[in-house]
A and B are shown apart, each in its own frame.
Chain A
Amino acid sequence: AQSVTQPDIHITVSEGASLELRCNYSYGATPYLFWYVQSPGQGLQLLLKYFSGDTLVQGIKGFEAEFKRSQSSFNLRKPSVHWSDAAEYFCAVGGDTGRRALTFGSGTRLQVQP
């Protein structure tokens, strides 16, 4: 069975500081990996995804993530956080068949201090 672990429930960073959100997955085959962001009361917005190829993936809003198969990780990074980045971030894994739903991690809430 596939699973996703986001070890950090809550992270606070200062505006302008760098950010790394951790994500570890468990999946038997080649995973499809996603990062989504959710603002309060809103739906999900896709930040980036990894299907294959280059293990460093660029996304929207200046985010990037690196797929490390040896560590079963797909950590999200941003070099300089903006106050508008405060939100809930979800890592998700899906299978390559396309017929399965995504499995989400428990989420990491990001607070940005001025």
Chain B
Amino acid sequence: GAVVSQHPSRVICKSGTSVKIECRSLDFQATTMFWYRQFPKQSLMLMATSNEGSKATYEQGVEKDKFLINHASLTLSTLTVTSAHPEDSSFYICSARVLAGANEQFFGPGTRLTVL
């Protein structure tokens, strides 16, 4: 089956620093990847839709200058949390849509970000 990886799985950083999270589709090409965040004991909330070769589409309330998304290839999207603050601490999950076929997305294992 389709596999999506995320790196790192866990990261701790100091307030004010930037953190990059990678999302890779390992055995398929993904024109579209999605970034979600999940606060403790809550559901997944869509942050942005990442399309290969074009600018990401951000959901209302998500700061595009804070959460930089780059989808440089059909197998890689990155999310950079800039000038991280403790309130950015969360579980970030990406998903990738298969290039052809029905609306099926495959989720990465998630990245736990803790900002001190």
Q: Which residues of A contact B (CB under 8 A)?
A: 32, 36, 41-44, 46, 49, 51, 90, 94-107, 109
* Majority secondary structure, A binding face: loop
Q: Does B105 count as interface, using CB distance less than 8 angstroms?
A: yes
Which of B43, B46, B102, B109 is in CB contact (< 8 Å) with A32? B102
Main secondary structure of the interface of B (DSSP, over half): strand
**Which one of B49, B101, B106, B112 contacts A101 once the chains associate, using CB atoms below 8 Å?**
B49
| Chain B residue nearest to A105 in the complex (CB) | B43
- The reply to whether the CB of B67 lies closer than 8 angstroms to some CB of chain A is no
Q: How many residues of B contact A (CB 8 A)?
A: 26
Closest to B44 in A: A104
User: How far is A101 from B36 in the complex, measured between Cα atoms in Å?
Assistant: 9
What are the 8 A-B residue pairs with the smallest beta carbon separation, nearest first? Answer: A43-B109, A98-B103, A44-B107, A101-B34, A43-B110, A101-B46, A94-B103, A104-B43
Question: Taking the nearest CB of chain B, how far is it from the CB of A105, in angstroms?
Answer: 6
- Give the residue name and chain of the A residue nearest to B101 (CB): A98
User: Per a CB cutoff under 8 Å, which of B6, B43, B107, B108 touches A107?
Assistant: B43
